[in-house]
Structure 1
Amino acid sequence: MREATDDQLSLQDDPAWEHGANSEVGRLRTVLLHRPGAELKRLTPRNNDKLLFDGIPWVGRAQEEHDAFASVLRDHGVEVLYLTELLQEALEFGEARNEIIDQVVDDRRLGDRLRQITRAYLNDLPPEDLTQALVAGLAHEELKIGRGLVYELMNRHDFVIDPLPNLLFTRDSSVWIGDHVAVTSLAMPARVREAELTRLIYTHHPRFQGVHRLYDPALEHVEGGDVLLLAPGVAAVGTGERTTPAGVERLARRLFDAPRSGHPVQTVLAIPIAQQRATMHLDTVCTMVDVDTVVMYPAVAYSLTAYTVTVGPDDELRVSRARPFLEAAAQAMGIDRLKVIDTGLDPVTAEREQWDDGNNTLAVAPRLAIAYERNIETNSRLEAAGIEVLRIAGSELGSGRGGPRCMSCPIYREAL
């Protein structure tokens, strides 16, 4: 296996490779995506619920839609990085390979014999094929050297290593806050390995050498879709189906303790949201499209509350009483009010477009956002408010319940 060279270890000094974000709307310069691939072909009516998909996507069309999404980003000056390419490059190094193989085979379902065989199989794979196995999974029938009781009693359609169809939603497994990265702790068992792969990239890829990690997968559950950077120094964190109150508390503590050079957050707004699939993350009901403007699902726009978390002189976390989210956010941001663009003119339209990720926009710059084309009413309201909308197709991409923001992890935004 390769060892890191002096040249590779100095890559973080390349001025073209800047990292960090202090807002949701600063000019987007670098983004991490995952182009859907063979892992989506593993979905069947038998396993799609377990793997958190509401339907079986047409993979070829999903890839076309994703390629168009990436093209829109590039057309607007955004550098697009692909997770699998970074992972494959990281796996050129022996330490990274050993680390991830140890984690993958540490699965009580396998038993000793199948664990040994699986480890040997993965050890023999070149980086490209190992990346494929880690992302698309390893089916029972593909492990030709499989032996032992566990292997014999497995259904031939089962997986020795489960696929990761939700890897498409790169927002959830990491979030940049200032010049620090939080590698998150994903709540659903089907997604745990996504965070481990992401952590591997930030730990071992030369591009990210020296980056400070705020958070790790072993900590309390926090998912990136619940984290909104409302303004420099202000973060809103939803707590509901995927992010726990303990996770919000831990993240706040880590943010307040972060090195001051990284422009850390001084205020965290903890926002309870309904613990159901339609509102699995805060960004399914609220995203930012300008420095003082959000697009929100009207059913919750004026009912969301927030607890303001700060740190006192005694270094203890201070938690305010619950207040209306819009009021607490405006105060923390230092503005008179946070403008709201409602999604939909009537309750039925609003509910339909919220389910179709109408609220889940990705800001490329202030007043410039990417949205699914099918959310006609929401997009019209955005444009009426002076927001330029870059429409993309999402008929197949949306089958895992995620929009443009879900599918993208900003690695570098220009500071506001």
Structure 2
Amino acid sequence: MINLDNTSEKINVSSEVGRLRRLLIHSPDGGLGKVVPSKAQDWLFEDIVHLDTMRRDEYDYYVKLLLYFLDPDKVRGKIASIDADPTRAFYKPGGEGYFNSDKVMDLQSMLTYILEDEGIRTQLIAAICGIERCSFRTQQELKSVEPATLSMIFISGSLPNKQMLFAPLPNLIFTRDIGIIINDHILLNKPAKTARTRESLLAQYIFFYHPVFESYRDKIIEIPDNEKHFLLPEDEKHSDYNRSTLEGGDVMMVAPRHLLIGCSERTTLYAAQQTMKILFEKNVVDTITIVKIPKKRDYMHIDTIFTQVKKNMWVLLSTLGRVGDDSRKKDVLHFFAPKAIDQDLKILQFIKGLEHKPIEIENLEDLLADISRNDLECREEVKFIYSGNNEFPFGDREQWTDSCNLLALKDGVVIGYDRNDKTLDAFREQGFRVIKAADLLQKFEADELSPDTLTDTFIMLPSAELSRARGGSHCMSMPIFREQL
């Protein structure tokens, strides 16, 4: 179990690039191996994956890198012995040899902990059996299942004998979407798709009952539905102006008093408005910028089209930036196109106390440059790296495999996928060391490099299977503590 001696360590995230000290993840579980083609899109997957390759040959490196930066005693000097283990249960919560860190925390391990409480276990079994429409006998049988097995059932959807009770939760590996830390507050999500309802329920129980969050329970924010939503006709219920859905990939804490909220395929304007109202009332932030992007599966969340690399550097998709806009306007078709073509991207900035007078920002580069210069007080030139090195057709191709979805371990040190060759060229052109995860771990073990002194580095994560899930390292993390910049 997680060492609770350190649970008093504060929860706080006030930037995207401050040194990462604590986060939530979820290692790929058996449910991912049960996704079938006929249900893949219903379960929000584009493809089926080879689970063992994803876990042993790809995600395994992600975990070891996170531990080397956040909890090095768990891996330093042990990589060879971990790799020599034929069962390789290092990344599996509850398994023999599991890394069991209180800095890199797996949701399944946290769920197991709270299920040790009989009252919580009874409540959660009843809640899940209700939303999954299980029989009364199934509900009674689950009460006798021990906590570690029960947490696995809730996540994978299967009993130990492989019988499936309900659908798996393949998207739980994208822990970013269950919530977001905004300074010292916790914003819980409201998923847009039915496939993530159980996921959201598990997250609620973890945040409200796990001792890691005990001191912050009065700072957990849940977004309300339209108070009259149950009276609305069905077509109006699903309107962006009435529906309250929000996922963490659309929320970025970019500076201590500045939050970005994306309105996308998964996050509605109504939810963004409600979130803004609550955060301003609680004085959590002073500025909220709403970035409305096209409702396309290609993009899904704002963190699929841009993320921050360091204080003065961002990676983004040019077709939704100034560069893409300029090239489009040179096309004669632009002059004859419907006006809606210019409404694909809209950016409005709201200042606390002046919500009725939002500032319209013309493009992403202007917004991101302003964050670097003014919010983060960066005096260096603000630079942009474009997906696919801004070469056609590689920008869109590589964005699809998460070239813009990077997790910053510290200012200037990021993890991303190894398959986005043109984007990696762009990083090299900006002076970054581009290195494979396995090679970097070897250099750490040999004391040739250190996480503490590493600068301007792109760490390449193997991604043949992970990229099929349509989420990158940013999606696969929920930071809960970053150092102040």
Query: Which category describes the TM-score, using the shorter chain as reference length?
Result: 0.7 to 0.9
**How much does 1:338 deviate?**
4.8
Distance 1:389 1:366, change over 3 A: same
SS in 2 for 1:210: helix
Q: Are 1:312 and 1:318, in contact at CA under 8 Å, matched by a contact in 2?
A: no
Residue 256 of structure 1 is matched in structure 2 by 280
- 1:8-61: per-residue Cα shift (whole Å, max 9, x none)? 7x975x3xx221100000000111110111111211122112111111111001
Give unpaired runs (5+ residues) of structure 2.
Answer: 72-102, 226-243, 326-344, 432-455
Matched, 1:380 2:380: no
Residue 23 of structure 2 is matched in structure 1 by 31
Determine which of 300, 304, 312 is the counterpart of 2:353.
312
Determine which of 197, 205, 225 is the counterpart of 1:200.
205
SS in 1 for 2:480: strand
**How much does 1:77 deviate?**
3.0
Amino acid at match of 1:413: R
Residue 68 of structure 1 is matched in structure 2 by 61
Instruction: Measure, in 2, the Cα distance between the counterparts of 1:11 and 1:404.
Output: 25
Instruction: Measure, in 2, the Cα distance between the counterparts of 1:206 and 1:291.
Output: 33
Residue 225 of structure 1 is matched in structure 2 by 249
TM-score (normalised: structure 2): 0.74
Amino acid at match of 1:105: C
Instruction: Measure, in 2, the Cα distance between the counterparts of 1:103 and 1:360.
Output: 34
Residue 364 of structure 1 is matched in structure 2 by 409
Matched, 1:342 2:386: yes
Q: Are 1:186 and 1:217, in contact at CA under 8 Å, matched by a contact in 2?
A: no
Instruction: Measure, in 2, the Cα distance between the counterparts of 1:355 and 1:405.
Output: 14
Q: Are 1:286 and 1:296, in contact at CA under 8 Å, matched by a contact in 2?
A: yes
Q: Are 2:70 and 2:104, in contact at CA under 8 Å, matched by a contact in 1?
A: no
Percent identical across equivalent pairs? 29
- 1:111-157: per-residue Cα shift (whole Å, max 9, x none)? xxx53122112222111121011100147x966xxxxxxxxxxxxxx
Amino acid at match of 1:399: R
Q: Are 1:308 and 1:328, in contact at CA under 8 Å, matched by a contact in 2?
A: no
Amino acid at match of 2:222: D
Amino acid at match of 1:40: L
SS in 1 for 2:298: helix
Q: How does 1:119-268 map to 2 (within 5 A)?
A: 119-138=139-158, 160-211=165-216, 212-216=218-222, 219=225, 220-258=244-282, 264-268=284-288
**How much does 1:339 deviate?**
2.9
Instruction: Measure, in 1, the Cα distance between the counterparts of 2:162 and 2:387.
Output: 46
Give unpaired runs (5+ residues) of structure 1.
Answer: 1-6, 144-158
Q: Are 1:294 and 1:341, in contact at CA under 8 Å, matched by a contact in 2?
A: yes
Determine which of 126, 136, 147 is the counterpart of 1:116.
136
SS in 2 for 1:57: coil
Instruction: Measure, in 1, the Cα distance between the counterparts of 2:53 and 2:412.
Output: 29
- 1:69-124: per-residue Cα shift (whole Å, max 9, x none)? 011111223531111001100111133223322321223x73xxx53122112222
Distance 1:138 1:60, change over 3 A: closer
Tell me which moved more, 403-412 or 86-95.
86-95
**How much does 1:320 deviate?**
3.2
Amino acid at match of 2:22: T
Instruction: Measure, in 2, the Cα distance between the counterparts of 1:352 and 1:293.
Output: 22
Residue 295 of structure 1 is matched in structure 2 by 315
SS in 1 for 2:388: coil
Instruction: Measure, in 2, the Cα distance between the counterparts of 1:374 and 1:239.
Output: 28
Instruction: Measure, in 1, the Cα distance between the counterparts of 2:49 and 2:208.
Output: 32
Instruction: Measure, in 2, the Cα distance between the counterparts of 1:326 and 1:229.
Output: 17
Instruction: Measure, in 2, the Cα distance between the counterparts of 1:142 and 1:294.
Output: 45
Q: Are 2:186 and 2:220, in contact at CA under 8 Å, matched by a contact in 1?
A: yes
**How much does 1:182 deviate?**
0.9
Determine which of 362, 366, 389 is the counterpart of 1:323.
362
Instruction: Measure, in 2, the Cα distance between the counterparts of 1:217 and 1:87.
Output: 23
Q: How does 1:262-281 map to 2 (within 5 A)?
A: 264-281=284-301
Residue 351 of structure 1 is matched in structure 2 by 396
Tell me which moved more, 35-44 or 278-287.
35-44
Residue 107 of structure 2 is matched in structure 1 by 83
Amino acid at match of 1:123: K
Instruction: Measure, in 1, the Cα distance between the counterparts of 2:279 and 2:143.
Output: 38
Instruction: Measure, in 2, the Cα distance between the counterparts of 1:363 and 1:11.
Output: 23
Residue 150 of structure 1 is matched in structure 2 by none
What's the Cα RMSD here?
2.4
Q: Are 1:73 and 1:80, in contact at CA under 8 Å, matched by a contact in 2?
A: yes
Matched, 1:48 2:54: no
Distance 1:93 1:11, change over 3 A: farther
Q: Are 2:224 and 2:274, in contact at CA under 8 Å, matched by a contact in 1?
A: no
